[in-house]
Amino acid sequence: MFDDFFIRALVAGIGVAFVTGPLGCFVVWRRLSYFGDTLAHSALLGVTMALAFEINIAISIFIISSVIAIILVKLEKNTNLPGDALLGLLAHSALAVGLVVIGFLSFIRFDVMGLLFGDILAVNVDDLIIIWGGGVIILIVLKLIWKPLFASTVNYELAEAEGLNPDRAKAIFTILMAAIIAISIKIVGLLLITGMLIIPTAMARNLSDTPRKMVVYSILGGLLSVLIGLFSSLEFNTPSGPSIIAAALLLFIISLFKIKQTIQLKN
Amino acid sequence: MSEENNILVKLNNVGLLQNHKWLVKGVSLTVKKGQIVTLIGPNGSGKSTTAKIAIGIHKNIEGKVEKFTNKIGYVPQKISIDWTLPLRVNDFMVLTENLSDEAINEALSLTGAKHLKNKSLGNLSGGEFQRVLLARAVSKKPELLVLDEPVQGVDFTGEIALYKLIKEISEKLNCGILLISHDLHTVMSATDFVLCLNGHVCCSGTPKDVAMNNEYKVLFGEQASQTLSIYEHKHDHTHSDDGEIKKN
């Protein structure tokens, strides 16, 4: 049962879950789920660029996602459109342009389904290095900006007034978002990345009364989802990325009973 | 801090233009160590804006701000904690600076909020929340304390108690305090200087000692008259409804 590809898949999924846990908390707290979606959609363009210019896919996605994030900031400043409209505009434009470019690259065999929903069972050793190396860097940087980022999430002006430089923390966090999408695209695919960021975190919220607990439960939720998802995908021959997200949903549903209990206890 | 005169922050003729409208203009003020400066004025007169200019939240301003300290404690006027963020008072206390458990307890005890330490921030009442906000701001022993309507949502007796507490804090920490008051006519007696704003500085001066004022004593009681003072405005102009200045 423990074929080599399966162990690689497990190691990759576990690596991603460690990073999506804490980042997902900030995505939920700062209401950035649609922002994450937009970056993920633009990843398709990143993949096509990588294929066209023969560069590393993760690096290419990281660059394109960062560019999209910068364009978003510029548009927010210079137009009168609301944020969610701009996000929709960028997300679907990037997706469409990416698919159009793929049409031009007819000489390359290309697994679009794997890109959209993940292809964790095809993870190779290079991918593992990118996931774990990138993941460690993301977590270290997040740890360094934690204080200003968290303080400005609670209240921007408090953080600014007390000298924490929240703007810089926010800019760095945006880059981290681009990075997590770049390293996790192979695991759950670009349509499901936001799910990996949000669903374990949503479960964690139901169980936590402090921010630290929420981060810990979010990581545990992600790890459990990867384990349950991958083993059931092997057992029932279901697609692995969607199985992981479905497992996360299952955990979320179970966590709802815990909320019900606490509410009853209060009454 | 500039050594010779203990100045913590100095605003020189500052103004903020937003959407083609001056929120405030031509405001100058200084807060020194151990001093309490109170800002008063009607709603929308630019009190909070002035305070935010002083601590550097507003950056694209006209005029000059000189800050001589980075140890600032801030109590904003409005703060809403999102329910998506599970946050207890204890977590909130260490938001901008890591503190020892003793320091947290000390600050919470000072504002009479120690029993709230493990409560969720979302479950506090308005008055409890103000006390926690104040405790958080003083816990890091700031040199400059900026309090934007710290007594809002607190009843009259609580207000007197909180003003007493602010005076105690000012004496204990020997910090400068920039206080924004929601009341136009009464200010803390401990106030050293009052600025009345309405888009610009309408008038300024020291509050009148009301401990002597019998009428006030009868109205609000002995305790209140020792804590609060009446500020007498000396305006040489009035404002029309659209904010235009008319000289008397």
pLDDT (tens digit, 9 = 90+) per residue, B42-82? 788 888 999 999 988 888 888 888 888 888 999 988 787 77
> Quick check: helix, strand or coil at residue B173?
helix
Q: For residue A210, list chain B residues with Cβ-Cβ distance below 8 A.
A: 86-88, 91
Do B85 and A164 lie within an 8 Å CB cutoff?
no
Domain ranges of chain A: 4-257
| Interface predicted TM-score of the whole assembly (ipTM), two decimals | 0.80
Q: What is the C-alpha end-to-end distance of chain B, expressed in Å?
A: 41
Q: What is the C-alpha end-to-end distance of chain A, expressed in Å?
A: 49
> Quick check: helix, strand or coil at residue B105?
helix
> In chain B, how many H helices and how many E strands?
6, 13
For A:162-181, CB contacts with B below 8 A are 162-164
Detail the DSSP E strand segments found in B50-104.
62-67, 72-75
B143 CA to chain A: closest CA distance, Å? 12
Q: How confident is the model at residue A20 (pLDDT cuts 50, 70, 90)?
A: very high
3-class secondary structure for chain A?
Answer: CCCHHHHHHHHHHHHHHHHHHHHHHHHHHCCCHHHHHHHHHHHHHHHHHHHHHCCCHHHHHHHHHHHHHHHHHHHHHHCCCCHHHHHHHHHHHHHHHHHHHHHHCCCCCCCHHHHHHCCHHHCCHHHHHHHHHHHHHHHHHHHHHHHHHHHHHHCHHHHHHCCCCHHHHHHHHHHHHHHHHHHHHHHHCCCCHHHHHHHHHHHHHHHCCCHHHHHHHHHHHHHHHHHHHHHHHHHHCCCHHHHHHHHHHHHHHHHHHHHHHHHHHHC
Q: Which residue of B has its CA nearest to A26?
A: B85
Contact status of B4 with chain A (Cβ, < 8 Å) = no
Do B55 and A161 lie within an 8 Å CB cutoff?
yes
Task: Return the residue in B65, B93, B95, B143 with the most chain A beta carbons within 10 A, the one to mutate for interface testing.
Answer: B95
Reply yes or no on whether the pLDDT at B3 is more than 80. no
- B137: enclosing H helix or E strand: helix B126-139
pLDDT at A179: 93
pLDDT at A266: 52
Is residue B214 a contact partner of residue B201, using CB atoms and an 8 Å limit? no
pLDDT at A208: 92
A264 CA to chain B: closest CA distance, Å? 16
Reply yes or no on whether the pLDDT at B231 is more than 80. no
Contact status of A205 with chain B (Cβ, < 8 Å) = yes
Kindly state the DSSP code that residue B95 receives in the 8-state scheme.
S
Do B72 and A162 lie within an 8 Å CB cutoff?
yes
- Closest CB from B70, B76, B120 relative to A158: B76
Q: How confident is the model at residue A2 (pLDDT cuts 50, 70, 90)?
A: very low
CATH 3.30.450.20 describes domain A4-257 = no
Nearest-10 crossing angle of helices A57-78, A83-104: 140
- Closest CB from B52, B70, B95 relative to A154: B95
Q: Which two tokens stand for residue B97?
A: 């600076």
